[in-house]
Chains A and B, each alone.
Chain A
Amino acid sequence: MATNLTRREFLKDLGLLGAGITLAPAAVSGADIFDWDSQKTPVLNRPSWVNTSAVPTMEIDWDKMERWREWRTTRGSFAEYVGKERDDRLTKLQTENLDRWLKQNKPGYTLKDRALGIATGQGAGAQGFLQPKDVTTPEKLGVSKWTGSPEDAAVMVTAALRHLGAGTIGFVELDPRTTEKLIYAEDPDKKVMKIADVDQPTEDDKTRVIPKKARWVSVWTVPMSQETTKAAPTVLCQLTTGLTYTLNRSIQLRLQYFLAGLGYLGLGEASTNALGISPALGTMAGLGEMSRLNRLITPEWGPITRVFKMITDLPLAPTKPINAGIMQFCKVCKKCADFCPSKALSFDTEPTWQVRGPWNNAGHKAFYEDSTKCRAYWRQVGTNCGLCFTACPFGTKNQAFFHEFRNALVSATPVFDSALKAVDDWLNPGPANPELGNPFKDPEKWWKTTNLPIYGINTSTGVSEI
């Protein structure tokens, strides 16, 4: 016997019987609302100048690409690449510099910066490859798992992820000959990432097993504060990266619960940067284009964002790569390479297939960077630097008409790229004092600005309700 009001009784109580009938046809499926062939990212409003494309703007040779061992990056193998002696010397320098700048009250490295940095890393949700054990599955509720078309699922997951704090969202279908190669062969902790014909994922001391049936990847951005990034390369700048990772741990955990609640797998990053190559998956999902940074540049936030992902067996309609003229613009721009204090970034005009060292993953035509130079600078300043992010013309806050105009022009034609770069040089001429560790923008001013947006992020990007 029903324990609540019938729909008729409920509407009658509200006096909405007529209105309810009128509104009923509004409930249509996602596939009806979105033209999937021409879609950019479901639900979200991408800027009008963002074009989708069958292939990314970065050439990929899938035959040459192999599944990558994450720990081969300088994150995991820096000491091996530069030698123990240099590694030890840099560790000593890092400690000495951070200590000296703290005691000198150097802007961006003061006690309050350090305290906020530590605080920012707190309160993160548990992070794991496998879904938590206490999930409420449909089985527990006595119903069958959620079913719907891949398009409906993509719309639903996008809505959920936006609600949980993601910026832009896209989906990649894993294909063993192509996109599956973007899933790591070994995670940062050197555990082997096996893709096997099993029903359930498992994890032990040496291995993480991904069932073959889990063939879809949700990829999403979590934007960083552009204003805080301007304090690069200080501790204050670094903490916006830290905040993004902290926020994402909650997003990941909640998405795992959500997918489990629908009756599906949600395999997350076991640790920071685990599971798969974020910029590559972001590129395939159409969240942005690869760039001279050898990182993703998004149309919405430029490079000032982080990219995360989760593998699932819930079929999701893949989103297409984009072409907004960004990679093309990088060929004439080179501003990040100029700004970079360690000269780690490529000054070449064209991308190349030739990697710069064993820290680069081959198989794509890119502006490969010398990661050891970058990492050595990080160690000297004791942070993750970010000066190249502050240089990028696409990393602006996009309130001024000029930014929209530039982006639309860059997307339409490369003819004006040099002129637009020249204008950007006038607008953003570079750090006034590029001495080691000196901030691009004064962190003390940041500490006096009390009206930055929540988390420093313009969350109205892609909003359709206003």
Chain B
Amino acid sequence: MWWLILGIAIGVIGWWLVAWTRAKKIAVKWYEWLLAVIALGFALLALQNYYAFLREMEPYSAGVMLALLGVPALIFAVIAVGLVWWENTKVAKTPAKNS
């Protein structure tokens, strides 16, 4: 049940994110979306393993798994957001030619 709710939430947030970036005219390259999807994949894996290890009554292993999968999730997310931010601010700062 929780996974269904999470799936719906991810779908809604993803749809909103695409709409928001378009409305704000934020350019997002395909590889930035890919990085975001990889980050999401790691985050979901971290979440599943963390809670499953807790259910298995192994809190120490749960923590290890959260670190092992959560850190890559964070790294990918930071790279994705950072790239989008950097490219868009770079575009904004570059003086328009022939205007």
Q: How many Å lie between the Cα of A399 and that of B51 in the bound state?
A: 9
Query: Which residue of chain A lies nearest to B48 when distances are taken between CB atoms in the complex?
Result: A401
Q: By the criterion of a CB under 8 Å from any partner CB, how many residues of chain A are at the interface?
A: 12
A427 to B58, CA, bound (A): 9
Q: Decide: A401 near B49, CB < 8 A? Known: A426-B64, A426-B68, A427-B64.
A: yes
Chain A positions 226 through 249: 1 when the CB is less than 8 Å from some CB of chain B, otherwise 0: 010000000000000000000000
B47-91 near A? 1/0 per residue, CB < 8 Å: 011001101111011001100100000000000000000000000
CA distance A11 to B45 in the complex (A): 52
Q: Does A428 lie within 8 Å of B61, measured CB to CB?
A: yes
Q: Is the CB of A397 within 8 A of B49?
A: no
Residue in A closest to B61 when the chains form the complex, CB atoms: A427
Q: Is A116 an interface residue (CB 8 A)?
A: no
Interface residue? A126 (CB, 8 A) = no
Judge if A464 is at the interface, Cβ distance under 8 Å: no
Q: Does A111 contact B (CB under 8 A)?
A: no
Closest B residue by C-beta to A423: B68
Which residues does chain B contribute within 8 Å of A397, judged by CB atoms?
56
For A227, the chain B residues whose CB sits under 8 A away are 57
Most interface-central of A227, A397, A399 (chain B CB within 10 A)? A399
A427 touches B65 (CB 8 A): yes
Please tell me which one of the listed residues A400, A423, A426 contacts residue B53 in the complex, with CB atoms under 8 A apart. A400
Of B45, B55, B61, the residue contacting A401 (CB under 8 A) is: B45
The answer to whether A400 touches B49 (Cβ under 8 A) is yes
**Other-chain contact of A396, B56, B60, B64 (Cβ < 8 Å):** B56
Q: Residue-by-residue, is A430-466 near B (CB-CB < 8 Å gives 1, otherwise 0)?
A: 0000000000000000000100000000000000000
**CA–CA, A426 to B68, complex, Å?**
10
| Identity of the chain A residue whose Cβ is nearest the Cβ of B52 in the assembled complex | A400
- How many angstroms from the CA of A356 to the CA of B59 in the assembled complex? 39
Chain A residues contacting B65 (CB-CB under 8 Å) are 400, 402, 427
B-contact bits for A378-401, CB 8 A (1 contact / 0 none)? 000000000000000000110111
Shortest beta-carbon distance from B97 to chain A in Å:
51
Contact A400 B48 (CB under 8 A): yes
Besides the contacts A400-B52, A402-B49, what 4 more A-B pairs have beta carbons closer than 8 Å?
A: A399-B53, A400-B56, A426-B68, A427-B60
> Which residues of A come within 8 Å of B, CB atoms?
227, 396-397, 399-402, 423, 426-428, 449
